[in-house]
Amino acid sequence: MAQVVLENIYKSFPRRQGERVDRPTPKSEHAETADPGSTTTVNVLRRITLTVADGEFMVLVGPSGCGKSTLLRLIAGLEPPTGGNIWVGDRLVNPLPPKQRDIAMVFQSYALYPHMTVYDNLAFGLRRTRRKGWGDEGRGRGGEGLKHYLPKSIRAWLEQERAIDHRIHTVAQMLQIEELLDRFPKQLSGGQKQRVALGRAMARNPQVFLMDEPLSNLDAKLRTETRTQIVNLQRKLGTTTIYVTHDQTEAMTMGDRIAVMNAGQIQQVARPLDLYNHPANRFVAEFIGSPPMNFLSVQVKAPLLIQHSHFRLTLPEGWESRLQPHDGRSLTLGIRPEHLIISPPAPKNLPVRVERVEALGSETYLTVRPTEMTETEIEIREASPLQVRIEPDRPVVIGETIWLAVSPDKIHLFDPASREAIV
Ligand SMILES: Nc1ncnc2c1ncn2[C@@H]1O[C@H](COP(=O)(O)OP(=O)(O)OP(=O)(O)O)[C@@H](O)[C@H]1O
Ligand SMILES: [Mg+2]
């Protein structure tokens, strides 16, 4: 097994005729182009620096088109980087072709050989890349006496086939596809095919697994099951894994750490709950968590007061030094749906009108809009809706006005210009 190190990776593709010149760039201050002034290339990855530890399960997550697959293809060697270095263990693999990198990749569309049985699909890669030490695995399974009289080359081949057989059965057992070994791909369901594709990568026992949205063709139930299987297998095998998904639930439940990408750049790398609790910028805050974090514009009044048009809040003392530089300025307050609590009317609470109620059984989500209390009636101001999570047994009706307490120790503050978190 090995760690994977990405050092300042850039990737640009030649621009095709008629393609638009401007590319989406992140609104963070880190945005810059790989080759300034160039009008003939599309910059897809910029300044990617990441260390995936030996045996770690790293998830790359980000919206469609942010460069996740491109990054995996660079690591696998299917595409050369425009700049930067890629290390697998202590080897700089930039000059090496895919075969010599000792990396197995599983794609979203599993390409099995249709004319081969599941067994032979699994064995195919093994027969091509026999690894040291495999001869030992199948020992002690009979035939020792006869082997003694066979030519050396046949003995070696038998030894190898036996090791391969042992390995295939081990992997097939782990993935619960043992009873499918004699079938052809066309006789398998989508989920079974996907597991065979995973098995083929695992059987090779590579230094690194790269998986590009391997579950996206599966139905919800099978997806959850296979997700657990992959995580368990990875733990058992201890193989360094980089797993691409655009599904934040998959990222949160599978990764030892998550690298959040947007517009060709890494936004933040952290353990799942650290990412959730301490997002580095608004993009991460919004992308991780479902429904996403709510944002409100507030004014800072040092030392600890935050004023919104509808409520005012005193923050815990720990905020003092962080708020001081922003005294009198506008900041963006972020608060997650579960940290807005239905409470009695009070100046520190936010009055809202309920617009939608989604009762899921285990919990209920409300879509609400801040309202203005006047002498005579409640007036709805033009304000963006907010998402609130409440207990399922709390009765709420559409059109009702409720008051929400904003938990001061759960808020996040962001600079509206740079979109970076105030830390
Ligand atoms: N060979 C290529 N030539 C030109 N542009 C490319 C090429 N391959 C990818 N791109 C562009 O690079 C960007 C990133 O693509 P990539 O496939 O890496 O995204 P992704 O994050 O994997 O998206 P998805 O979640 O949809 O799979 C896209 O804008 C894509 O159009
Ligand atoms: Mg992709």
Dist. CA 64 → ligand 2 center (Å): 7
Total residue count of the chain as it appears in this document: 423
CA of 70 to the centre of ligand 1 (A): 6
Q: What domains are there in the chain, each with its CATH number?
A: 1-102+206-290 (3.40.50.300), 294-414 (2.40.50.140)
pLDDT in tens, 91-115: 999 999 998 999 999 887 778 899 9
Ligand 1 centroid to residue 11 C-alpha, Å: 11
| CA 156 to centroid of ligand 1, rounded, Å | 45
With bands split at pLDDT 50, 70 and 90, how would you rate the model's confidence at 144?
low
- List pLDDT tens digits, range 37-48: 446 789 999 999
Give dist(CA 265, CA 31) in Å, integer.
8
| CA–centroid distance, residue 306 to ligand 1 (Å) | 42
Q: How confident is the model at residue 220 (pLDDT cuts 50, 70, 90)?
A: confident
| 133 pLDDT above the threshold of 50 | no
pLDDT class for 373, splitting at 50, 70, 90?
low
pLDDT of residue 310 exceeding 60, the answer is yes
The pLDDT of 304-311, averaged and rounded, is 90
Nearest CA to ligand 1 atom 25: 64
Which residues place a Cβ less than 5 A from the ion ligand 2?
A: 69
pLDDT > 70? residue 329: yes
Atom number of ligand 1 nearest to Cα 244: 22
- Given a cut of 60, is residue 139 above it in pLDDT? no
pLDDT at 309 over 60: yes
What average pLDDT does range 412-421 have in this prediction?
96
Q: How far is the CA of 50 from the centre of ligand 2 (A)?
A: 19
Nearest CA to ligand 1 atom 8: 70
Q: How many CB atoms lie within 10 A of CB 332?
A: 19
- Classify 211 in phi/psi space as left (phi over 0), alpha (psi -120 to 50) or beta: beta
Residues 148-207 pLDDT 10s: 677 788 888 888 888 899 989 988 988 889 999 999 999 998 888 888 998 888 888 899
pLDDT over 90 (residue 400): yes
- pLDDT for the residue numbered 378: 47
According to the model, what pLDDT value does residue 147 have? 61
**pLDDT-derived band at 17, boundaries 50, 70, 90:** low
Q: What is the pLDDT of residue 64?
A: 93
Q: Tell me, what's the pLDDT at 79?
A: 94
Average pLDDT over the chain reads: 86
Q: Hey, whose CA ends up nearest to atom 16 of ligand 1?
A: 67
User: Left if phi > 0, otherwise alpha if psi is -120 to 50, otherwise beta: which for 133?
Assistant: left
Of 350, 341, 359, 336, give the one whose Cα is nearest residue 401: 350
- Any idea what DSSP says for residue 141? S
Task: For residue 361, name the pLDDT band (cuts at 50, 70, 90).
Answer: very high
Residue minimizing CA distance to atom 14 of ligand 1: 67
- Residue-level pLDDT at 15: 79
Ligand 1 pocket by C-beta < 6 Å: which residues? 13, 42, 44, 62, 64-70, 246
Give the DSSP letter string of 12-80. Answer: EEEPPTT--S-----SSTT---SSTT-SSEEEEEEEEEEEEPTT-EEEEE--TTSSHHHHHHHHHTSS-
Grade residue 21 by pLDDT with cuts at 50, 70 and 90: very low
Q: Which pLDDT value is given to residue 171?
A: 87
User: What ligand 1 atom has the least distance to the C-alpha of 67?
Assistant: 18
Write down the residue that tokens 């026999």 correspond to: 130
Pocket test for ligand 1, best of 17, 69, 261 (most atoms within 8 A of CB): 69
pLDDT in tens, 63-94: 999 999 999 999 999 999 999 999 999 999 99
Q: DSSP readout, 273-341?
A: HHHHHS-SBHHHHHHSSSSPPEEEEEEEETTTEEE-SS-EEEPPGGGHHHHGGGTTSEEEEEE-GGGEE
